[in-house]
Amino acid sequence: MASNKTVDIGKRMRLQEHLMKYFSFSAIVILIIAFSASQQNFLGKANLKTLLSDSAPLIIMSIGMTFILILGSIDLAMGSVCSVANVLTVMVLNDIGPSLSSPVLAAFLALVVSIIFGAFAGVIQGIIHVKLKVPSFIASLGFMSLWQSVALLITEAPVSVAKAMWPAIEWVKVTFGVIGLPLILALIGVAILYVIQNYTTIGRSLYSIGGNERASRIAGISVDKVKISLFVVSGICAALGGYFLAAKLRSSAPRVGDSFTLLIVAAVALGGTSLSGGRGGVLGTVLGVFTVSVIQNGMNFIGVDAYWQNIVFGLFVLAAVAISVDRSVRGLVVK
Amino acid sequence: MKRIKSVIALLLAFIMIFMLAACNKPAETTETTEEPKEEEAETTTEEPAEEPAEAEVTDYRDFTIDASKIPQEKLDTTLYLAVSVRGLENPYIATIKVGMELFAEYLDGIGQKYEMQVLDSGGSNDKEVDNMRQFAAKADGNAIAYADPNENSIAYSLAEAMAESGGYIGTAWNKPDDVGPEDLTPNWVIHTSPDNVINGYEIAKALFDAQDGKGKIFVLEGMMGNTAAIDRAKGLDQALAEYPDIEVVGRDTANWATAEALTLVETWLNQNPDVGGIWCANDNMATGALQALDKAGLKGKVGVVGIDANTDIVEAVASGDAVATVSSNGYLQGGYTLAICYAAWTGLLDVEALPAEFREFATPATVITGENVAEFQSYSPDFDFSKPFGCKAD
């Protein structure tokens, strides 16, 4: 009897896992079929290019957030870290760029500055969360408003990248067929994080901590170190998102990241990562991001009113999470 | 296992996307659209041959869209119309949409097939550019749009988004000084704006005159970095220089928003309850200022001015609670911008030959005060879109 029951539970769990895993995937396929059947240019070269390249900043940021959510934590500061990196990038390009020998060098310098800032933001947030035992929600909420203000202090108003510096951001327009360079770079980022997730000690510890932090600690995993490193990863990802957005919009905007914070969480959730930690992965997140992009792009294509777009989007996220929540766990506490 | 499955899932996703793309593309979409494109190219090369003769002798102000000269295949192609704006909840922005609808009626009249839509950025730069690129991609070159860039800095990206797929765009209000329509000829057809400096100056003068040229004022500026905000403030400063007895006791940005204006004015009123007037860079903020005055029991005693001619402020001008506002005529901006882009799309207007003063120009605005408010309230827009440059102010 007992063994039968476990088999049943096992089966159910597997079914659920599949549903969850393929939710985004099947959603993408269904949406693409529906949109392309009703709109003849939906899969035209121009739109495909748009669809694939516009997703890059969101992919970069979402994969960073994936790790944090697997830990069972959350990083609400990603959007504003992205904003700060964004204004820093344009500041470096416009203020230091002209004195450098080439715009490419300026682009590289801006990239380095962004990454250093992202890592710094991750380290201090991680330390405050881990050492001062401030819950990640609150710690990142604090940093969210802190970095928002820092971004506004650096540049109150959006600044365009000076025309002379345009060569430094031309890379964003490079495409191979329908695939843009930003997407390729984002996917390289995915590959790197995939390797970290699956083939390193940090990656293995990640799932263990997310599943049961106390047990992991007893098992001798240096939980604090792992957590801080992962916040550094998410900080860098957020900063790279800001860098990409600066190139894409040819300008900085001190509030550019604000709208991303919750979009990132939605994309990761759609990708099957559990917000209670322990389950999920970066590949699922990529699918989640494409689901978000296809929904947004498709609704613009059909010409759905902006407010309705948010309703449809909200329903999608609810459905995805409702399907993916593992309700079989005994005494599951939903907070 | 799990890992392998997810890798397969991801790969499949990509394969599906590309397969679908591959099936769809060569089969119908591109071929059918490509053909007329080639013809377009021919017709556009033919057209200018007749055009310059006309253009040389006449002013572009007299340029006419002659419906009989529009090739039949153009009329039969579905043209996509859009206005890209910050948010329809703003009454001024809603008039831009009405402008598009008026222009659509004109298209009905000449038998042009079209579809129209509003691209609402909700105040996000990133979204506005994405919206435009997606809209342009859908239309595959058969698109015309009016865009009010959310910030100066994205004007070029918006125009570029349209240019990439070969549609035509006209921007309004905001753009940086070092870029302009000439950078993306022919697709970035025009950039227009009411003269913000003059508008800011005119309402300031009206306010100061209502205060007999003396007293304290609050200043609510628009979003930092918006051309409109900067220039309106410039106009205010010019007027302040002419009225030395006016003292500014509070000055800050309320980001074009009613709620922020309300909070600012409430705070300032605590320190300066004897304020004589409030200068607002737009009417949404004037609404907030009026609410704050109402709460403090000062409505009607303190002069308020704004810009945009929102219905509530126009009514306030009529009832004496506000001193002045400015109508930038969103109907005209939306409708005529699309008309000029339409002329470019049909090939009747050769954008390259268009002189600089017809690529960037001012559109008319009317200062509304107690004297002419009744006249304005009975105004209903009636335009002749066959003369698209009729919207040029000077």
Model confidence at A118: pLDDT above 50:
yes
Q: Does B360 touch chain A (CB under 8 A)?
A: no
The verdict on whether omega for the bond into residue B48 sits within 30 degrees of 0, i.e. cis, is no
Tell me how close the Cα of A128 comes to any Cα of chain B, in angstroms: 31
- Measured CA to CA, the distance from residue B191 to residue A158 in angstroms comes to 20
Give residue B324's pLDDT: 96
Q: Which residues of A touch B9 (CB under 8 A)?
A: 21-22, 25, 283, 287
**Residues B145-194 pLDDT 10s:** 999 998 888 999 999 999 988 999 999 998 988 899 999 999 999 999 99
Residues 241 through 270 of chain A touching chain B, CB cutoff 8 Å = 245, 248-253, 256, 259
Q: Does B142 touch chain A (CB under 8 A)?
A: no
- Best A251, A252, A305, A311 member to test B by mutation, with max B CBs in 10 Å, is A251
A119 vs A64, A92, A123, A236, A240, CA distance in Å?
Answer: 12, 18, 6, 5, 11
Q: Does A163 touch chain B (CB under 8 A)?
A: yes
- Cα B243 to its chain centre, rounded Å, is 32
Dmax (CA) for chain B in angstroms is 82
DSSP string over B217-244: EEEEE--TT-HHHHHHHHHHHHHHHH-T
- Measured CA to CA, the distance from residue B365 to residue B194 in angstroms comes to 6
Give residue B275's pLDDT: 96
Residues 226 through 255 of chain B touching chain A, CB cutoff 8 Å = 226
Q: Mean pLDDT across the stretch A112-139?
A: 96
Residue A100 CB neighbour total at 10 angstroms: 17
Average pLDDT for chain A: 87
* CB contact (8 A) between residue A163 and residue B137: no
Least CA distance to A195: which residue of chain B? Answer: B3
Least CA distance to A164: which residue of chain B? Answer: B178
Place of tokens 């129209």: B116
Tell me how close the Cα of A289 comes to any Cα of chain B, in angstroms: 12
Residues 211 through 230 of chain B touching chain A, CB cutoff 8 Å = 223-226
Q: Which residues are within 8 A (CB) of B371 and not within 5 positions of it... i.e. 6 or more apart?
A: none
Give residue B25's pLDDT: 37
Tell me how close the Cα of B266 comes to any Cα of chain A, in angstroms: 23
* CB contact (8 A) between residue A248 and residue B119: no
* CB contact (8 A) between residue B129 and residue A159: no
Q: Which residues are within 8 A (CB) of A2 and not within 5 positions of it... i.e. 6 or more apart?
A: none
- Percentage of chain A exceeding pLDDT 70: 90
Residues 90 through 109 of chain B touching chain A, CB cutoff 8 Å = none
Q: Does B151 touch chain A (CB under 8 A)?
A: yes
Q: Which residues of B touch A248 (CB under 8 A)?
A: 126, 129, 157
Least CA distance to B139: which residue of chain A? Answer: A41
* CB contact (8 A) between residue A281 and residue B137: no
Least CA distance to A285: which residue of chain B? Answer: B10
Residues 80 through 119 of chain A touching chain B, CB cutoff 8 Å = none
Least CA distance to A310: which residue of chain B? Answer: B122
Sign of CA dihedral A41, A46, A49, A50: negative
Which of A178, A287, A306 lies closest to B10 in CB terms?
A287
- Measured CA to CA, the distance from residue B252 to residue B262 in angstroms comes to 12
Q: Does B8 touch chain A (CB under 8 A)?
A: no
Which of B7, B127, B225 lies closest to A283 in CB terms?
B7
Q: Which of A215-219, A236-240, B2-6 has the highest mean pLDDT?
A: A236-240
* CB contact (8 A) between residue B157 and residue A36: no
Number of alpha carbons in the 13 Å side-chain half-sphere of residue A263: 23
- Measured CA to CA, the distance from residue A305 to residue A299 in angstroms comes to 8
Query: Higher model confidence: residue B58 or residue A56?
Result: A56
Question: For the purposes of burial, counting CB atoms within 10 Å of the CB of B182, is it exposed (0-12), middle (13-18) or buried (19 or more)?
Answer: middle
Contact B100, B115 (CB under 8 A): no
CATH 3.40.50.2300 fits B197-327, yes or no: yes
DSSP state of B25: I
**Residues A268-304 pLDDT 10s:** 988 888 888 888 899 999 999 998 888 888 888 887 7
Least CA distance to A247: which residue of chain B? Answer: B157
Q: Does A284 touch chain B (CB under 8 A)?
A: yes
Q: Which residues of B touch A256 (CB under 8 A)?
A: 125-126
**Residues A135-174 pLDDT 10s:** 999 999 999 999 999 998 998 778 888 888 889 998 988 8
Place of tokens 């399907």: A323
Which of A43, A157, A284 lies closest to B225 in CB terms?
A157
- Measured CA to CA, the distance from residue B29 to residue A43 in angstroms comes to 9
Interior angle at CA A18, CA A13 and CA A23, nearest 5: 130
Give residue B13's pLDDT: 52
Give pLDDT tens digits along chain B (394 positions).
555 555 555 555 544 444 444 444 333 333 333 334 333 444 344 444 444 444 454 588 889 999 999 999 999 999 999 999 988 888 888 899 999 999 999 999 999 999 999 998 888 888 899 899 989 988 889 999 999 998 888 999 999 999 988 999 999 998 988 899 999 999 999 999 999 999 999 999 999 999 999 999 999 999 877 788 989 999 999 999 999 999 999 999 998 889 999 999 999 999 999 999 999 999 999 999 999 999 999 999 999 999 999 889 999 999 999 999 999 999 999 999 999 999 999 999 999 999 999 999 999 999 999 999 999 999 888 899 999 999 998 7
State the ipTM, two decimals: 0.77
Q: Which residues are within 8 A (CB) of A18 and not within 5 positions of it... i.e. 6 or more apart?
A: none
Contact A297, A52 (CB under 8 A): no
Nearest to A291 by CA among A324, A258, A252: A324
Q: Does A3 touch chain B (CB under 8 A)?
A: no
- Best A47, A256, A258, A296 member to test B by mutation, with max B CBs in 10 Å, is A47
Model confidence at A221: pLDDT above 90:
yes
Res. A26 pLDDT band, cuts 50 70 90: confident
Q: Could you tell me the domains of chain A?
A: 17-324 (1.10.3470)
Q: Where in chain B is the domain with CATH 3.40.50.2300?
A: 40-194+330-364+381-391, 197-327
Nearest to B117 by CA among B106, B132, B130, B105: B132
* CB contact (8 A) between residue A41 and residue B176: no
Which of B10, B21, B29 lies closest to A40 in CB terms?
B29
Alpha-helical regions (H) of chain B: 2-24, 30-57, 72-76, 91-110, 125-139, 155-164, 196-210, 227-242, 258-271, 283-295, 311-319, 330-346, 373-377
- Best B12, B129, B133 member to test A by mutation, with max A CBs in 10 Å, is B133
Which of B17, B119, B126 lies closest to A249 in CB terms?
B126
Distance between start and end Cα atoms, chain A: 34
CATH annotation of B40-194+330-364+381-391: 3.40.50.2300
Q: Mean pLDDT across the stretch A75-99?
A: 95
Q: Mean pLDDT across the stretch A314-333?
A: 70
